[in-house]
A = this chain, B = another copy of it.
Amino acid sequence: MAQVKENVCKWIEGAEKEAVQFLQALIREPSTQMNEAGIQTIIAGKLEELGFHVDVWEPGGEALLNHPDFISPRESFRGSPNVAGVKKGEGGGRSLVLNGHVDVVPEGDLKDWSVDPYGGEFRDGRVYGRGSTDMKGGNAAMLLAAEALKSCGVSLKGDLIFHSVIEEESGGAGTLSAVLRGYTGDAAIIPEPTNMKIFPKQQGSMWFRICVKGKGAHGGTRYEGVSAISKAVSVLHELEKLEQIRNSRITDPLFSSVPIPVPINVGIIEGGDWPSSVPDLVKIEGRFGIAPDERADEAKKELEETIAALGNTDDWFRTHPAEVEWFGARWLPGSVDKDHPLLAILKSHFTDVTHCTPVVEASPWGTDGGLLTAAGNTPSVVFGPGVTSMAHYADEYIEVEKVITCAKILALTIMDWCGLSDEEERE
C-alpha cells in the first residue's frame, strides 16, 4: 500500500499546473446565488470524466421546503442546479461523502479589489478571486484527489460520493436537498477554509434582528421623547453580558485557543431618520453563535428571554418590549465524536504529508457539516486549505501549495477510510 500512496502523492505534485488551470476555470464562473449553473456544468463534466455516476437537479419539492432544517431566502432554485456524483466501491468498505459548495458571496465594492474578482489571476503561488478560498480551492483539492486515485488506478471498497452544492452561504438548502435525495455516507469531509486545521466540531449560527422602540420628539426638546438609540445601547449591553455567560459554560478543550467560542456578533445597527428628531426605532441585526452540542431552539430561547428580561428593571422596556426575530440564514452546529475513526485517519495522513502535528479545534463558524451530520446522519469533519480571514473579503486568494497538500491528505484519507480493493492491498 505504501507504494500506491506514494504514487498518488507524486501524481498530485505533477498535476499542479492543471490544478491551477482548473481552479481558475472555477473562479472565472461568478457563481453568486442564482448564478451557479455555469460552475456546476464544469464540475459535473469533471466528475463524468473521473468515472462518477453524475446526477444534476434543481433542488425543490415539498420534502425539502417543508423540512424543519430548511432555510433559504428563496423558495425556488430554478436555474441553480445541485450536482452529486457517485463512484461505487467494490463492496465491503466504508463510504465517504466529499462535500463542497459552489456558491460564493458577492464581490462587494470593486474599488476594494486590486484584481478582477472573477479573473482567476495566478501570481506568486496564489490564485486570486471571489470564492478562491471559500471554497473553490477546497473543491479543486477534492477533485484533484479523486483524479489522482483514478489516474493511479486505485480501486476502493467503499463508495465515494461527491456533493457539489448550492446555497451554503444562505443556510444549506443545497446540502439538505442532496441528503434528501439519498446522497449520504458513513462519514463526510468538507474542505472549507480551516487553514488546514481539523474541525471535528463546528459552531452553528443563526441571524437575529432586534427592534428597539423609542418615542419621537423634536431634538430641541428631546426630554419629551425616548431615544430608541439610548435604549438600543441597553440592548447591546445585555448582548455583551449574555455572550459572556454563554461562553463561560464552554469547557471543551477544542475551544481552548478560541477567545470567544460562540460569539454574539452585532453586524448592523440602523435607526432614526432626521438629525434633530428623537429616533423612535432602532434595528439591530447580528449573528448568534450556537455551541456544537447546543440545540438551536434552546439558544433562541436564551436570547429571547434575555431581551424580555429588560422589562423587569426598565419601565420603558416593560411597556415597549424590544422584539426579537430570527431571519435569513442559519447553520446548524455539528459535532463528531473525538474518537471517530475518520479523525484518526485524517490526522495521521496530515502528519504523513506535512511532517507536522495537525491542529484539532472547534470551528468558529458553521458549515453544511451540521446539516450533513444532523439531517443526513453523516458525521462530518471540516478540513481544507485557505484561511477564514480571506473569505468574503476583497482580494481573496488561495495558496496553490495548500491546495496540493490538502489534495494529497484527502487522497490518502479516502484510500484508508474507504479501503483499497483486496487486489491492490496485496500489491
- Given A229-B269, A236-B229, A282-B269, A365–B275 Cβ distance below 8 Å? no
Number of interface residues of A (CB under 8 A): 53
> Does A3 make an interface contact (CB < 8 A)?
no
A59 CA to B220 CA, complexed, in Å: 28
Known: A205-B276, A220-B388, A221-B365. 14 other contacts (CB 8 A): A205-B219, A207-B276, A218-B391, A219-B263, A221-B388, A221-B389, A222-B263, A265-B275, A267-B272, A267-B273, A267-B279, A270-B270, A272-B285, A276-B287
Q: Which residues of B contact A268 (CB under 8 A)?
A: 271-275, 279
Does the CB pair B275–A286 fall under 8 Å? yes
Chain A residues engaging chain B, CB cutoff 8 angstroms: 203, 205, 207-208, 216-224, 227, 229-230, 232-233, 236, 259-260, 263, 265-279, 282, 285-287, 289, 328-329, 363-366, 388-389, 391-393
For the complex of A and B, the 8 pairs showing the least CB-CB separation, nearest first, are A219-B265, A220-B365, A276-B287, A220-B364, A219-B287, A268-B272, A267-B275, A223-B259
Q: Which residues of B contact A270 (CB under 8 A)?
A: 269-271
Does the CB pair B267–A277 fall under 8 Å? yes
Does the CB pair A220–B263 fall under 8 Å? yes
- Given A218-B391, A267-B275, A278-B267, A223–B287 Cβ distance below 8 Å? no
Query: Which residue on chain B has the smallest CB distance to residue A285?
Result: B275
**Oligomer copy total:** 2
A273 CA to B388 CA, complexed, in Å: 19
Cross-interface CB contact of A217 among B216, B223, B389, cutoff 8 Å: B389
Most chain B beta-carbon contacts within 10 A, residue among A223, A236, A274:
A274
Q: Which residues of B contact A208 (CB under 8 A)?
A: 275
- Given A277-B392, A364-B220, A269–B266 Cβ distance below 8 Å? no
Most chain B beta-carbon contacts within 10 A, residue among A223, A233, A266, A366:
A266
Q: Which residues of B contact A266 (CB under 8 A)?
A: 227, 229, 272, 279
- Given A236-B229, A285-B275, A221–B267 Cβ distance below 8 Å? no
Q: Which residues of B contact A232 (CB under 8 A)?
A: 269
Q: What are 30 pairs between A and B in contact, CB < 8 Å? A: A203-B220, A205-B276, A207-B275, A218-B365, A218-B388, A218-B389, A218-B392, A219-B263, A219-B265, A220-B265, A220-B365, A221-B389, A222-B263, A223-B259, A223-B260, A223-B263, A224-B389, A229-B266, A230-B236, A233-B233, A267-B274, A267-B275, A268-B271, A269-B282, A270-B270, A275-B286, A275-B287, A275-B328, A276-B286, A276-B329
